[in-house]
């Protein structure tokens, strides 16, 4: 098995993309509003009911991530429409790309159950009940 080349070992003029698995072409992520209510978390739950979808939080911002390859990605992990690629692809650089696998997310959800449990942990109960015992009646004052 061929070992993965380091960014620092690239020769002058050599492209990092020549050694990459094209992660940036195998998903897209769209920022969503930060959930604040039970209804907001139900929308996220709905996203997660869809195949090949996850939700993550990075630097305090929430995203829905769709794991799907670009239809123009070739078997050699190169772009089939490189000269006509969209502006988002033209603006993307390898300076901070995911080649090194050194990134992690603050929060990452893959299932509707995970987001449901998270919502239960961070939001007040829907019915305003508490897990605490009710406050006892004060003792009568004896004069």
List the structure tokens of 28: 């897209």
Integer Cα distance of 20 and 4 in angstroms: 9
Tokens of 118: 């998270």
Distance in angstroms (rounded) separating the CA atoms of residues 136 and 57? 41
3-56 pLDDT, tens per residue?
A: 777 778 888 888 888 888 888 899 999 999 999 999 999 999 999 999 999 999
* Average pLDDT of the segment spanning 123-136: 72
pTM of the predicted structure, to 2 decimals = 0.76
* Band of residue 132 on the pLDDT scale cut at 50, 70, 90: low
Confidence of residue 129 (pLDDT cuts 50, 70, 90): low
Taking 60 as the threshold, does the pLDDT of residue 110 lie above it?
Answer: yes
43-84: per-residue pLDDT in tens? Answer: 999 999 999 999 999 999 999 999 999 999 999 999 999 999
Question: 100 pLDDT exceeds 80?
Answer: no
Rounded to a whole number, what is the largest CA-CA distance in the chain? 93
**Which of these ranges, 81-85, 99-103, 131-135, has the smallest mean pLDDT?**
131-135
In angstroms, the CA 28 to CA 49 distance is 17
Instruction: Measure the CA–CA gap between 6 and 126, rounded to whole angstroms.
Output: 51
Q: Say how far apart CA 124 and CA 38 lie, in whole Å.
A: 9
pLDDT at residue 1 above 70? no
């Amino acid at each position: 098995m061929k070992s993965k080349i380091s960014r620092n070992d690239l020769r002058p003029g050599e492209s990092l993309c020549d050694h990459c698995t094209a992660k940036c072409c195998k998903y897209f992520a769209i920022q969503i509003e930060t959930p604040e209510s039970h209804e907001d978390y139900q929308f996220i739950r709905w996203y997660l009911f869809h195949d090949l979808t996850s939700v993550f939080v990075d630097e305090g911002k929430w995203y829905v991530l769709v794991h799907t390859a670009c239809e123009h990605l070739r078997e050699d992990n190169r772009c089939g429409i490189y000269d006509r690629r969209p502006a988002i692809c033209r603006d993307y650089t390898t300076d901070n790309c995911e080649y090194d696998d050194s990134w992690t997310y603050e929060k990452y959800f893959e299932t509707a159950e995970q987001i449901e449990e998270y919502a239960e942990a961070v939001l007040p109960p829907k019915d305003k009940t508490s897990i605490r015992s009710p406050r006892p009646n004060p003792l009568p004052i004896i004069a």
